[in-house]
Amino acid sequence: MTSARVTADNWGFPPFNRASFQQVQALFPTARIRRGNNPATGFGKAARELGDISYTGLDGNRRTVKEMLDDGYTDSFLVTREGAIVSEQHFNGMATDSHHLMNSMTKSFVGALTGIVVEDGSLDLDRPVAAYAPELEKTAFSATTTRHLLDMTAAVQYGEDYADPNADFWIEAAVVGWRPALVNSDSAKSLFDYVSSLQEKEQLDGEKFHYRTVLTNVLGMVLERATGRGLDELIQTEIWSKLGADEDASIVVDPTGFPYVGAGMSACPRDLARFGQMIAQRGHFNGQQIVPAAWIDDIRHADAHTRKVFEESGYGATMPGAHYRNQFWVTNPDRGVLLAIGIHGQTIHIDMSNGVVIVKLSSQPESLHLLMYLDTLAAMTAISEALSC
């Protein structure tokens, strides 16, 4: 890790992010997501050397998993199969109990939580979000439903070009302190204030797939209003405390204490593998049904409209046959390959067909390096296929 001092001004930029992604709780206000008092769920052992597994890179040349790890600014790499650890490696000062920023992998926790809230009858996916948060009635979210939020098809105009320092994504992130240089006297004082200020629409609700972090934050607001419970408490009670986690997790909060669920969670690698294993087992884990099995099935298979709008988006060419549903990416519905993804190289790769879960935590210099990311996915596919034998 870099020896230079990490600050709120430089933390998100290289080389400082090599250290800062493990120091988020020291840099920004966070809420604690407690593991509870239950014993940690253990892992079996099925050690296997994976570094020599090869795959075809995007340039057509053969590469190995070791090369992917060496080139991909890897901080932690963990592979499990049906609850047994196949490989566990830590780099860049990481350890088993180190917290690491998840970035947008956080979204998948909110997607899983939504399935729980829907099942208990507190939330109707087809009702306008303004039915739960009337303050949004005269905003770009006036006709948006929770389903539109879940699948990234809402109407609101919002730019998420990470390379643009003035993108809407960074203006929203400035509310939780992530971009101090963008804060001025007119800046929103909370994430809800920011959402309430959005008036412009770029499409009809449900018309197109367009990935936007603000939609997950609105989803979190709807969950709070629908249940009357705090979002961090919901994640803790309904998911985290049921996983048998080794450690607490944490999440960045805005000045009102609202969690930045679009990107703000930090957690330890093994606990993320437990979450992935729960998803791989159709929501059943640690002797209980945590997320409804039907909700996981809906993520995996989606519906015709969801698949169509994804195929027609810019992602359709680079991820053929894939779709996005309930805050998860699905690259292979037949095998049940589900992904939680975050910028700078965060990934939970879940293969339901063989129970393989792969966690990669990284501190890549670019928010989104498409070639590096696709190379990582190719390596993970090769690993999962090798472990099927």
**Residue 307 structure tokens:** 């698949």
Which parts of the chain register pLDDT below 50?
none
Question: What is the Cβ-side half-sphere exposure of residue 381, based on CA atoms within 13 angstroms?
Answer: 16
Which amino acid does the sequence have at 263? A
Query: Which domain range does residue 306 map to?
Result: 20-126+229-386
Q: Which of 249, 209, 208, 205 is nearest to 109 (CA)?
A: 249
Q: Are 58 and 375 in contact (CB under 8 A)?
A: yes
Q: Examine residue 135 and state whether it is found in any structural domain, yes or no.
A: no
Position 351 scores a pLDDT of 98
- Could you tell me which residues come within 8 angstroms of residue 256 by beta carbon, excluding any fewer than 6 positions away? 189, 190, 191, 192
Q: Examine residue 207 and state whether it is found in any structural domain, yes or no.
A: no
Q: Examine residue 10 and state whether it is found in any structural domain, yes or no.
A: no
Place of tokens 């919901």: 234
d(CA 164, CA 98): 31
Per DSSP, the three-state class of 236 is: helix
**Residue 127 structure tokens:** 């009702």
Other CB atoms within 10 Å distance of the CB of residue 370: 10
Write down how long the chain is: 389
Q: Examine residue 118 and state whether it is found in any structural domain, yes or no.
A: yes
d(CA 378, CA 380): 5
Which amino acid does the sequence have at 146? T
Q: Examine residue 60 and state whether it is found in any structural domain, yes or no.
A: yes
Position 3 scores a pLDDT of 54
Place of tokens 């990470």: 162
Contacts 24+ apart (CB under 8 A), 39-44: 39/244, 40/244, 40/245, 40/246, 41/243, 41/244, 41/245, 41/274, 41/285, 41/286, 43/80, 43/83, 43/84, 43/85, 43/270, 43/273, 44/82, 44/83, 44/84, 44/85
Domain count, the chain: 1
